Amino acid sequence: MMTDDLVLREAVRIAWSMYLATHSDVDIADQRLCSMSRYLSERLRAGETEVEELACDGLAFLDQLPVDSW
């Protein structure tokens, strides 16, 4: 069984790598990564413990962010 920290890190890694693969204009150290990480941490504390579900939540979070705000 993975610890919460490992679950979170893996979900963030998967979501961010997929996001970067489809958004070539986004820098690897973009502030959206931090925002998504905080969001996924909240989802984990709310009871979502599946890496894949969290990664999907992370992608959905990133997709709903306004493009012009970054």
- What's phi and psi for 15, nearest 5 deg? -60, -45
Total residue length of the chain: 70
Residue 41 is predicted with a pLDDT of: 98
Closest CA to 8 of 62, 65, 57: 57
Structure pTM? Answer: 0.91
Residue 70 is predicted with a pLDDT of: 55
pLDDT tens-digit series, residues 33-60: 999 999 999 999 999 999 999 999 999 9
Residue 58 is predicted with a pLDDT of: 98
Percent of the chain with pLDDT over 90: 90
